[in-house]
Structure 1
Amino acid sequence: MEPLTTSSLSFTDFPEDVQICILSFLNQSELAAFASTSKRFLSFCRHDERLWCAMCDRRWGSKTLIKRWGSGKISYKRLYKTLLEYENLIGFCRRCATTARFAVESPTPLVFFEWGPFYITGSRVSPSKTGSYEVIKTPFLWISLTSKGESVNFLDLDGKQLELSENLVDSGELGVLENELIPVNVVFIGKTHFVLEENANLHWNSSNSSSSPSGGRFIKVPNSGNVRGEEYEVVSGSPGSLPDRLMSEIYQHFANRTSPGGNGSLRRQRRREKEKHGRRKLEPEHFLKIVNCSPTPARPLQGLWKGICDDMSLVFYMINYDEGIACRRVDELPVFWTSNTTSVEPPFSAEEEYEYERRIHLRPPAEVDEHLRCSDHGAVSRMLHMTSSYDLVIPGTTINPRQVEGRIWQYRNGTFGFGFLRNNYVIDLKHIAQDGHILDTMEFSND
């Protein structure tokens, strides 16, 4: 039998479509390293749109429609770099406490960003007032790109949940949305901090006249000049010497002030509309990304949770591991903490069993089930001791431990409940989101 011979293939021997498929698994820095191996691959990795389209599709194709961003006209290399930055937004963020507000005061500062077909949607997440675990998700921000690759972001003050189309995003012709959507800038400060600020470089032109160059759309205005967003007058100067042009502009100025059909009348009409709506320029608003919003096997309590309180209202909680376990409400009000993360395993002492069994589990009325309440003890997998954060405990002082001590009961289904010795109830917590989707959402109403 003749010995088998083997031959080796280099990467260049593969067809280009196979090369593109393989390279699409690389990230940007890995691709740059590969491009440095030869001049051919340097040009290929820099300019081949098929490669960058495959990289975009590989990373985000299951989450958004890659070919609809920028109306399908944007460079895929530019799109990759932009979406790589936008990806930092996806998930939960917390609005920093400031005196300024971009919209009607939300019950909580919790916001959620998710992929749309050709944009990213930011939504406020608020507890419902129905005494249930349902949450209200209200879209308030859209982040997208024009066909030129320019960022275009709109803020919805009134929570109208207006649906954007590609043509509207690309052209800015938002005549039907005047006074409902506000152009804003999204400024990234690192990967976990970003700022929303009103875009003073977009000016609303509400003229529907066919002779208007903008035709009722948002148009760009120069960065220099009127930084407060006042209307720019289009003054048609006549050719000739400077004095001639100056006299023409003066004549045009007074004509506009006196002519009923001139720009002066339109300007006064705009001013009355602004006064009617009474909206001032919006102050910048800061948001911080919640990076650890889901539990892990090593940190089972970590993340965002929701639970029914003793007043039967729904509250959002945020739990972090940092030299212990600290729990705060999303509005930053402290709830409990413990420096000891060592769990107590069953079987528990008779005193601990009584401490748990005597308690009432706070749940929505529709979910109260006596059999379920009694079977919860069998579902407890471990227990932790904790302290109330409402009370300042000074070492060496004599204080009733029942006023500050509490327990955390972890259940086998991955959730947990907590309660203090001074109370006779357990606040059972559930997940806010799972697999990137918010649970128990309900429709938002403007009524």
Structure 2
Amino acid sequence: MENEIIFELLEQRKFKELKEELETMHPVDIVEMLEECDQKQQMLIFRLLAKEEAAEVFTDMNSDMRENLINALTDSELEEVMDEMYVDDTVDVLEEMPANVVDRLLMATDEETRRKINVLLQYPEDSAASIMNVDYISLRREMTVAEAILKIRQVGINKETIYTCYVTEKKKLIGAVDVKDLLTAGESRLIEEIMDENVMCAKTLDDKEDVATTIKKYGLVAIPIIDHENCLVGIVTVDDAMFVLQDETTEDISIMAGVSPNEDSYFGTSVLKHAKNRSLWLMLLMLSATVTGEILGHYEEAMAVMPVLITFIPMLMGTGGNCGSQSSTLIIRGLAVGEIQFKDIFRVIFKEIRVAVVVSCLLAIVNGIRIYIMYDQNLTLAFALGLTMMAVVVMAKCIGCTLPLLAKKLGLDPAIMAAPLITTILDTCTILVYFNIVTAIFHL
């Protein structure tokens, strides 16, 4: 309904009313509304936004919309937007832009901001320092509460967060103070009397996903980042942590589905890029299935003697793949939230084996009864398939739970060991187990 009002005002060229309406909207909602506009309408609406709001809207845009906007804005307009943006958001924008656009953006920033940007760009992409904000409020231990509050009033407007202030001495982090403590303490008290010396922090080269998980786990508003000399160099805020966790989750889901990770949105990605991201995985999985075909060829004689054996292959392979996928999904989720670690591998295997025994017995009994009824009360065939089912389920659960843990131990993404790959591995193992059991029971 709100979007309809905006478009109606835009069509009627009632720009004063349109500006007033935009002031009541959240930047995220404005971005969603801009996605429905053509480029000319986007520029018109963007120019009606207040400077602070325009900077937030610019930060929340996708890369394509942002690039179009940069090309259309004048140098003075671009400079106004860049002045209102936080340095860490500016770095995120620069990393997504082509070189010619990056040059123009850097020209729109002042020398001090460019220096801060260059510092952040030097850190590895997956490090905590790459997402930190170098603008934070630093206090001295000998300050009084009144002096600290005065400083917050003077410089807080340019900081991303003022809820936690950090106490430094010769740039080294020695404590932290919440604004709540400042507001409730006497004005004459010293900062060193009320500061918390036990500060949770992270190193510049720590993995950004681990830092984001720490923020989520302990409910922090921000976490300070220190270098190898324990000097405070920046902070990672909760909003940046949320973006990291969202990106990592998106990447894991893509890999688990056998799709190369892609930062662009679904509709913002071209058909050719979608095909490219999916083809490599599908090709690898298709070629790996050749092994299964070769094994089936090895048992041609057994299948010729008992053709009915072929009819059970899809069921066994499907059940094995599904069981393996269930276990791997639960383990990958446990690894992602920190609930499971590699040291728990034997506990995990023991638990999955017990689960597998219960599940396999139920499946074997149901399947055995079905086969006994449908195949002329052939008890031996029902027994062979029931035994195979139990073996396949136990094997699938064990493989499904151990592969993600091994991947994590080797420094790989556990999501690699998800449904497509595990299913392919289990198809091969299932065929081997199945034909070894039936050939032994029927003496084929």
Q: TM-score range by the shorter chain?
A: under 0.3
TM-score, normalised to structure 2, is 0.27
| TM-score, L = length of structure 1 | 0.26
Instruction: Identify which of structures 1 and 2 has the higher relative contact order when contacts are C-alpha pairs closer than 8 Å and 6+ apart.
Output: 1
Structure that is richer in strand per residue: 1
Select the structure that is richer in helix: 2
